[in-house]
Amino acid sequence: MDRFEAGNYDIIVVGAGHAGCEAALASARMGMKTLMITLSLDSIAALPCNPSIGGTGKGQLVREIDALGGEMGLNIDKTFIQSRMLNTAKGPAVHSLRAQTDKNLYHRVMKETIENQENLDLVMDEVEEILHEGKVVTGVATRLGCIYRSKMTILATGVYLQSTIFIGHDTFKEGPNGMAYAKKLTDSLKDLGLSMRRFKTGTPARVHRDSIDFSVMEPQEGDEKISPFSFMNEDLEKDQITCYLTRTTPDTKKLIQDNITRSAMYSGNIEGTGPRYCPSIEDKIVKFADKETHQLFIEPEGLDTKEMYVQGVSTSFPVDMQERMYRTIKGLENVKIMRPAYAIEYDCIDPTQLKQNLEIKGVENLFSAGQFNGTSGYEEAGAQGLIAGINAVLKIKGEEAFIMDRSEGYIGVLIDDLVTKGTNEPYRMMTSRAEYRLYLRQDNADMRLTEKGYQLGLVTEERYNRFLKKKSELEAEIERLKKERITPKEVNHILEERNIATLNNGLSLYEFLKRPEIDYSMLELTGKQSPKDISDEVKNQAVIMIKYEGYIAKQMKQIEQFRKLEKKKLREDMDYSKIDGLRLEARQKLDNIKPTSIGQASRISGVSPSDISVLLIYLEQKRRGNKN
């Protein structure tokens, strides 16, 4: 096919999933002429697996995307059909918001946002080749013969590179839900010197609502008071749908055990590595053989469809086996499958090939984000897309890269884990991955990141003024609580009625709120309530800051120590082979990752504390030598 020059852009984004959407919107909103190329306009912000946004660890990512001026939080707030705050029985460090969404509406609203975005063009085509001069990327060439030139290119290809669907022993060269797949781009990336690998993920069947017996299942309702994802929203009211909890049975277990070789996962057909934290039902049966049953959730795909998502039972069994298996589950005895479950294998990269700004090492002007970088999940993808978009713009402007470290956000933890430690399986964000999670809470993401988003030019004046108002109200409320006092006479009769220890002396409201049993409702009973115009969000944050003051202070000291090591910079061109005292493994790992700081070097697998001591001594000797 003859090729022709189809246009010049500042930034081209390849792919329109959650990473591609955030990257393209960030680029356009920061003033760059941007092109988004997608295999299908119907796959923009698609949710091919679970119909939800957020969850443990993931909800924090969405809040941070929102605080920086991204779109995911706003979009889910417009399209959710049930909202729940998870882990509320535990401390605030692990509270995580999760919302079921109408997946078709989520796609349509995001597509509309992209179509209406100034500086952003959208085309449906397949990128087959990354154009480059030497190791400098100059644009892309497509299946339809179009050549698009660009200053920067961002790869956000998701699971579509050489993707293969597995259902039993049958395989299909296609993307999720029968979508087209990218046939040739992998070869072009290999020509550029990228090291590729195969990962695998999967999704459960979708079943007809009318074939389910909900009477034997446990209803799962949404929260009575809805917590928005976006800091731009305060009160959201909506009639929410019901999800349902049920379980597999011993019959499910036996059926799977007796037919395990019919699964693509256990027949040897699949080469790719699957996600440890979202295993197939076959994996659950094999790896947790002592468990007789496993819980699962039945979740609606949307308001305009009777498709129901069977969360927790992804599989690569053939369709006849799927039907038999699902019918052993409590409440699904007469179930009708509308879309079969499948596994999907796809090409991605080892993320240690990335710099911390998500630009690919050794290749100029090529960034990447999302599942192409070895992650799983919409939220992880969106977070990376936003950072890749921001940094592609900053590189064009000749400005310093935007690097969020581990002490600043879950996004920083996610990217640092990828580029420093790498991953041998699809990476999933969890609260346990964040060392400073009591500080990196979802409720204070705006306090941590909105100023940064404003400086980058992504946060609107409206959002910034809203942030300043909340910050001012929070500071004023904390100050009021420290000044106002309460006496035993004012409160002891209320405490006695509730079998709570009484006061012997007066104390400030701040100290009073430190007591585990005390919250704002108690202050209101005593007439010590806050000004009426202060939001519940401000009150909740004030309570967390007060009750966990000692723990937060301890964590801030840890962060201070962490940042000292992050400030000890290492040159990208440092020759580790010439540093005496480093072990061979450390030299190899340091040369491969090329850490930017002592802190990052200390997190590389294979670099020991003694190696870090050698590096510190080397830096000090160099510093003294430069002084002389």
Q: List C-alpha distances in Å: 328 to 167, 308, 313, 343, 471.
A: 19, 17, 12, 21, 53
381 pLDDT higher than 90: yes
Three-class DSSP labels, 587-612: HHHHHHHCCCEHHHHHCCCCCCHHHH
**Predicted pLDDT of residue 278:** 73
pLDDT grade for 624, boundaries at 50, 70 and 90: confident
Strands 366-368 and 120-124: unpaired
Average confidence (pLDDT) over 305-330: 96
Q: In terms of DSSP bridges, do strands 218-220 and 485-486 run parallel, antiparallel, or are they unpaired?
A: unpaired
Looking up tokens 């723990």 gives 551
pLDDT at residue 83, as a whole number: 97
- How large is the average pLDDT for residues 133-137? 96
Nearest CA-CA partner of 310 in 291, 344, 338 = 338
Q: Is the dihedral of CA 419, 420, 426, 432 positive or negative?
A: negative
34-44 average pLDDT score: 97
Q: Is the pLDDT of residue 434 over 80?
A: yes
Evaluate if residue 626 carries a pLDDT over 90.
no
Q: Which of 123, 83, 81 is nearest to 102 (CA)?
A: 81
Q: Where are the beta strands (DSSP E) in 271-403?
A: 295-300, 307-311, 337-339, 342-349, 366-368
Mean pLDDT, residues 67-73 taken together: 98
Q: Over 70: is that where the pLDDT of 342 sits?
A: yes
Task: Tell me the per-residue pLDDT of 509-563, one tens digit each, with 9 for 90 and over.
Answer: 999 999 999 988 888 888 887 777 788 899 999 999 999 999 999 999 999 999 9
For residue 528, the model assigns a pLDDT of: 83
The per-residue pLDDT for 275 is: 67
Is the Cα torsion angle 308, 311, 315, 321 positive or negative in sign? negative
Reported confidence tier of residue 628, pLDDT bands at 50, 70, 90: low
* Three-state DSSP state, 551: helix
CB 353 within 8 A of CB 195: yes
**Alpha helices per DSSP H over 30-102:** 58-67, 72-79
Local confidence band at 272 (pLDDT 50, 70, 90 cut-offs): low
Amino acid 42: pLDDT: 95
Supply angle C-alpha 149, 374, 371, rounded to 5: 55
